[in-house]
Amino acid sequence: MRDVSIIGIGQTKVDEHWGRSLRHLANDAVLAAMQDARIEAADALYVGNMLSGVLTGQEHLGALIADFVGLRGIEAVKVEAACGSGAAALRLAYGAVAGGLHDLVIVCGVEKMTDTTHAETTTGLMMAADADWESVHGLTFVSINALLMRRYMYEYGVKHADFAGFSVNAHRNAVGNPNAMYPNPVTVEQFTQARMIADPINLLDSSGIGDGAAAVVLCPTHSAQEYRSEGAVRIRASSMATDAVAVHDRPDPLWLSAVQVSSFKAYQQAGAGPQDIDLLEVHDAFTIMSAMSLEAAGFALRGKGVWLAKDGEIAREGRLPICTMGGLKARGHPVGATGVYQVAEVVQQLRGQAGPNQIPNARLGMAQNVGGSGATVITHILEAQD
Amino acid sequence: MRDVSIIGIGQTKVDEHWGRSLRHLANDAVLAAMQDARIEAADALYVGNMLSGVLTGQEHLGALIADFVGLRGIEAVKVEAACGSGAAALRLAYGAVAGGLHDLVIVCGVEKMTDTTHAETTTGLMMAADADWESVHGLTFVSINALLMRRYMYEYGVKHADFAGFSVNAHRNAVGNPNAMYPNPVTVEQFTQARMIADPINLLDSSGIGDGAAAVVLCPTHSAQEYRSEGAVRIRASSMATDAVAVHDRPDPLWLSAVQVSSFKAYQQAGAGPQDIDLLEVHDAFTIMSAMSLEAAGFALRGKGVWLAKDGEIAREGRLPICTMGGLKARGHPVGATGVYQVAEVVQQLRGQAGPNQIPNARLGMAQNVGGSGATVITHILEAQD
């Protein structure tokens, strides 16, 4: 199979875009990525999206967006894997280019979550969980994560305040990201005093609901130079794994086995390990997800993920910078778009275009996108290309 | 790229399965396909589905179904392209196997459309159209097709009764298909006297709403013999094309350009033309779609597609048998599953396992799945493997 590179990226600001519909947001991101890649056509468009059906009455986004961005006629589909939809679309596009099905593929993650009621959005997000066994009891995604966080605190003797570092780090990094929804710094004190959402998860444990779109352009590595003389980024690894959707079906609710499998498949493909990763975009939908992901992905021992936040190792200056552009927490989490934002941000870092948030000498970056409470996990490892 | 073969198929009966949920239907089809292919594991599961979010409050079908069928952990995603979702999932799976990303992929199309209100289903189906420019005016999918049919009749001087042959043929073929939802023969007189749905489309122009699941198993052709000594079917061509979603955005509403592009790409890949096709599973969601598809795919001249039905050429004994197991009209149209049913039926024919519906000496079969009113078209050409 062929090596694959990312030759263009585009992002809209994550925000409440009351004046922009889903197709307009997608258009902004795709055209920016095409301009960045210096292309005017493509073989295919893979769209990552979760909620457009229930929230905007629109499916069939492949053909719709392909037409709207000026690419009427090309192969185009929507890929859905809950909050992992964006990276799932990238994963399939990677396979199509690596395997030779296509030479130039655009991946667009897009989600329009505002301009609707909070009830609709909350219900919509629960479609990522098990409808027959979780949603039916009135659980929401916050409360599923609250159950996990409470259990984690009990099992490992951790206090809620110990998670503060994840939120503080994300907000600090969002300040330097013009695409971030919440570019305001927060303090540990603000974190501990934030209003409760679902005990023990409070407002500052939680990523926000927003609208946004991000896009990347893929081509075989050997032809990346035809499009841009520098700044191409090679996909060193791409992997996906799944787990039971319902948390109670997993032998150990505190162990994200799909994170483990997806991460270690990616390490194997990349010929690299956790110690080689210069920055990590982790799926911090809630602070508890960051702690658990860091453990299952091999960056911390079991029950110790939370201490990476406490000790400051995840800061831009630390040993393992995470959420370097604000993460889901502070850049925002337009669910089906998130996985593509993460990858676009890693590309920014590897190109040296992350502005005040630049991680010095970043060579190898990892992005991990999670669907549901850990049932779908997609991992990409990217490398700066000389 | 590698040649790809289908080594297993599974289908549930299309019906109002009030006692079977979406995951149970998928399970039945996937396990049948795995048994048929003599496999107990797979690398990935690609699920084609359109409506599970709005109708059953469940997305994230990749992980959900993978777990439920006993394949917890494997790569799994949902692919959506409106009523073309099933074949779109197959198209991506084909690419993954052809390109070397995977060696054994299961494709499952599944849809659960009953156990809900007709209003929800009708609204849900309109998500295949343009929400901002078509749905907003109160159009339904029947009325969009009614506008096309009325225009077709006006432009080409055709009467409604001239379409009868499509419906009569589909119902005749459904009689011999144990998986068909409507295995009752209908006459030309019953067709012309059926009650009106949206003038000029009546009940017998229209495919029905039902629940169902179908699955196929793909592997590289060179290893098909490892799984089964006979009955493997080679995918000679796989292609997808798109068009404007809204009918009014197309330069000519009576010309399905995505059918044309997708078909001719497929002919090119297969090194075959319309004259070589022994049977065709056409996307007969409405009789007008059959007529227009036959024209754009090169089986009839413009404005002449309807006459194929009139002249009996589409019967099992005719020059171009279509909808050989009942088609969308009479096998039933569980939208996201339909494209996989079509392909499974072509496999039955090429294996010589179509029972009373067997097309003698069938060597080359074509299946064409359409999303929306022609905005996404996926074509597969299959060949009997010696």
ipTM of this predicted structure:
0.97
A382: tokens are 């990217």
Nearest CA of chain A to the CA of B132: how many Å? 9
Contacting residues of A for B81, CB less than 8 Å apart: 60, 62-63, 76-78
**Candidate from B96, B124, B126 with C-beta closest to A99:** B96
Backbone angles phi, psi at A367, to 5 degrees: -125, 130
Neighboring chain A residues of B57 at a CB cutoff of 8 Å: 123, 126-127, 131, 135
Q: Give the global pTM.
A: 0.98
Name the β-bridge partners of B379: B239, B368
Question: In this model, does residue A49 exceed pLDDT 80?
Answer: yes
> What pLDDT does residue A386 have?
72
Spatial neighbors of A96 by CB under 8 A, at least 6 apart, are A44, A46, A102, A105, B92, B95, B96, B99
* pLDDT tens-digit map of A331-343: 999 999 999 999 9
pLDDT confidence of residue A313: 95
The answer to whether B375 contacts A63, with C-beta atoms less than 8 Å apart, is yes
Cβ of B129 within 8 Å of Cβ of A60? The answer is: yes
**Residue B73: how many other CB atoms lie within 10 Å:** 16
Categorize the per-residue pLDDT at A146 as very low, low, confident or very high, splitting at 50, 70 and 90. very high
Calpha distance B377→B370 (Å, rounded): 5
CA distance A342 to chain B (A): 19
Give per-residue pLDDT as tens, B287-346: 999 999 999 999 999 999 999 998 889 999 999 999 999 999 999 999 999 999 999 999
Give the model's pLDDT for residue A312.
Answer: 85
Percent of chain A whose predicted confidence (pLDDT) is above 90: 97
Residues 6+ apart with CB under 8 A from A247: A134, A144, A147, A148, A253, A373, A374
Pair B5, B224: CB distance under 8 Å: yes
Instruction: Please state, in angstroms and rounded to a whole number, the distance separating the CA atoms of residues A227 and A330.
Output: 33
Is B60 close to A249, i.e. CB distance below 8 A?
no
User: B105, B90, B94, B12: which is closest to B48 by C-alpha?
Assistant: B90
A contact residues 250-269, partner B, Cβ 8 Å cutoff: 257-258, 261
SS3 label, residue A299:
coil
Q: Quick one: how many helices (H) and strands (E) in chain A?
A: 13, 11
* Chain B residues in contact with A296 (beta carbon < 8 A): none
Residues 112-151 of B with CB under 8 A from A: 123-124, 126-132, 135
Contact between chains at B261 and A92 (C-beta distance less than 8 A): no
Other CB atoms within 10 A of residue B355 CB: 11
- The span from the CA of B185 to the CA of B3, in Å, is 39
DSSP state of B328: I
pLDDT at B117: 78
- B-contacting residues in A 340-379 (Cβ below 8 Å): 371-372, 375-376
Contact assignment for B64 to A92 by CB distance below 8 Å: no
Query: Is A240's Cβ below 8 Å from some Cβ in B?
Result: yes
* C-alpha of A319 from chain center: 21
pLDDT of residue B311: 82
The single residue of A83, A108, A219, A323 carrying the catalytic annotation is A83
CB atoms within 10 A of CB A233: 24
Residue B294 carries which side chain, given as an amino acid letter?
L
Q: How far apart are CA A83 and CA A324, in angstroms?
A: 19
Both structure tokens of A105? 């593929």
Tell me the shortest Cα–Cα distance from B99 to chain A, in angstroms: 3
pLDDT for residue A116: 83
Please state, in angstroms and rounded to a whole number, the distance separating the CA atoms of residues B168 and B189: 10
Q: What is the pLDDT of residue B161?
A: 98
Q: Which of A23, A54, A72, A77 would best serve as a mutation to test chain B binding (most B beta carbons within 10 A)?
A: A77
Residues in Cβ contact with B154 at an 8 Å cutoff, skipping those fewer than 6 apart: none
Instruction: Calculate how close chain B gets to A341, using CA atoms only, in Å.
Output: 19
pLDDT higher than threshold 90 for residue A43? yes
Whose tokens are 């432009």? That residue is: B155
Q: Fill in the DSSP letter of residue B8.
A: E
Q: Is B248 on the interface with A (CB under 8 A)?
A: no
For residue A118, the model assigns a pLDDT of 76
Report yes or no: B72 at the A interface, CB cutoff 8 Å.
yes
The dihedral formed by the CA atoms of B56, B58, B59 and B61, expressed in degrees to the nearest 10: -100
Shortest CA distance from B123: residue in chain A: A57
The reply to whether B67 touches chain A by the CB within 8 Å rule is yes
* Identity of the residue numbered B288: I
pLDDT band, residue A119 (cuts 50/70/90): confident
Residues from chain A that touch B100, judged by Cβ atoms under 8 A, are: 1, 98-99
Asked whether B7 and B105 are in contact (CB, 8 A), the reply is no
CB-based contact A126 B57, cutoff 8 Å: yes
A100 near B CB under 8 A: yes
Task: Examine the residue annotation and report whether A333 is marked as an active-site residue of this protein.
Answer: yes
Residues of chain B with pLDDT under 70: none
State whether A74 and B242 contact (CB < 8 Å): yes
**Whole-angstrom distance, CA of residue A79 vs CA of residue A4:** 20
Q: What is the DSSP string of A201-248?
A: EEGGGBPPP-BEEEEEEEEEGGGHHHH-SS--EEEEEEEEEE--SSGG
Q: How many CB pairs under 8 A join A and B?
A: 219
Rounded Cα distance between B296 and B277, Å, is: 15
Distance from CA of A278 to the nearest CA of B (A): 26
Chain B residues near residue A23 by CB distance under 8 angstroms: 132
What's the gap between Cα A102 and its chain centre? 24
Which chain B residues are within 8 Å of A79, Cβ to Cβ? 77-80
With an 8 Å Cβ cutoff, is B100 touching chain A? yes
Nearest to B101 among A72, A77, A95 (CB): A95
CA distances from B180 to A215, B173, B186, B325 (A): 42, 9, 14, 8
For the annotated catalytic residues of B, the residue numbers are: 83, 333
Say whether B132 and A67 touch across the interface (CB within 8 A): no
As a whole number of Å, the end-to-end CA separation of chain A is 21
What pLDDT shows up at residue A258?
98
- pLDDT (mean) for A263-292: 98
Catalytic residue among A17, A171, A333, A380: A333
Q: Which two tokens stand for residue A299?
A: 């960056």
Question: A99 to chain B, minimum CA–CA distance in Å?
Answer: 3
Residue A138: what are its φ and ψ, rounded to 5°? Answer: 90, 5
Residue A264: its pLDDT value, please?
Answer: 98
Report the gap between the CA of B324 and the closest CA in chain A (Å). 28
Residue in chain A nearest B247 by alpha carbon: A64
Helices (H) and strands (E) in chain B, counts: 13, 11
Distance between CA atoms of residues A303 and A317, nearest Å = 24
Tell me, what amino acid is at B326? Answer: G
Q: What's the pLDDT tens digit per position in A181-213?
A: 999 999 999 999 999 999 999 999 999 999 999
Shortest alpha-carbon distance between residue B373 and chain A (Å): 11
Q: Which of B53, B242, B371 sits opposite A53 (nearest CB)?
A: B53
Q: Which residues are CB-neighbours of A182 under 8 A, at least 6 positions away?
A: A171, A174, A208, A326, A329, A330, A331, A332
**A81: nearest CB among B23, B62, B241:** B62
Q: Is A270 on the interface with B (CB under 8 A)?
A: no
Residue A115's pLDDT is 86
Q: Does A284 touch chain B (CB under 8 A)?
A: no
Q: Which residue of B has its CA nearest to A61?
A: B81
**What is the residue type of B171?**
H
Residue of chain B whose Cα is closest to the Cα of A378: B75
pLDDT of residue A311: 82
Please give the Cα distance from A86 to A379 (Å, whole number).
Answer: 11
Whole-angstrom CA distances from B218 to A92, B227, B240 are: 16, 11, 18
Question: Which value, in Å, is the radius of gyration of the alpha carbons in chain B?
Answer: 19
Helix, strand, or coil here: B34?
A: helix
